[in-house]
Amino acid sequence: MNSHPILKRVPKFLRPFALRFIHAPISHVTAFLILHELTAIIPLIGVWYVLHKYHLSIPMDLPSWAIDKGTKVIDSSMARFDFTGWNVNEKFTFMMEGAYAFVIVKFLLPVRLMISLGLMPWFSKWVVVPFTRIFKRKPKAPKVEVKDSVKKVEKPRL
């Protein structure tokens, strides 16, 4: 098993993970993508909630390009919601809290990548692979022909 060319270049402490990845690359990549999205969506909602609930202002000076991108993303995603009971100031504050939360989650990308890579083997083994087994086709049982158990005798025995 250790004769694979990739394993020769991987540090010894990572070889068990690399070996599992070599044997099931699609399930591991799927697990990584799912975890990467979960580590983006859950903190985004959580940070946004904390900023909105406790009326926290972000004291740090965030880059304007990041706030612009965050505002654009949040504004496009919130366009489907009805803000009829909100005044302009409340809506602006809500959008800016979302933009700040978006920027904070984007800045946490290295941490999110480490978490996704660390949990990838476990998530693949316990979530992705069992889920894919549900949809696998079960092999059909081979048809067995039943022959007559009565043997024909062509000439009588004495």
Domain boundaries, the chain: 16-133
Of 98, 36, 48, 52, the closest CA to residue 73 belongs to: 98
- SS3 of the chain: helix, strand, coil, percent, to 5: 65, 0, 35
How far apart, in whole angstroms, are the C-alpha atoms of residue 121 and residue 75? 36
**pLDDT higher than threshold 90 for residue 8:** no
- For residue 141 the two structure tokens come to 């049982």
| 32 and 116 Cβ atoms separated by less than 8 Å | yes
46-55 pLDDT, tens digit each: 999 999 999 8
Read off the pLDDT band of 128 (50, 70, 90): very high
Residue-wise pLDDT tens digits, 70-125: 888 888 888 888 888 889 888 888 888 888 899 999 999 999 999 999 999 999 99
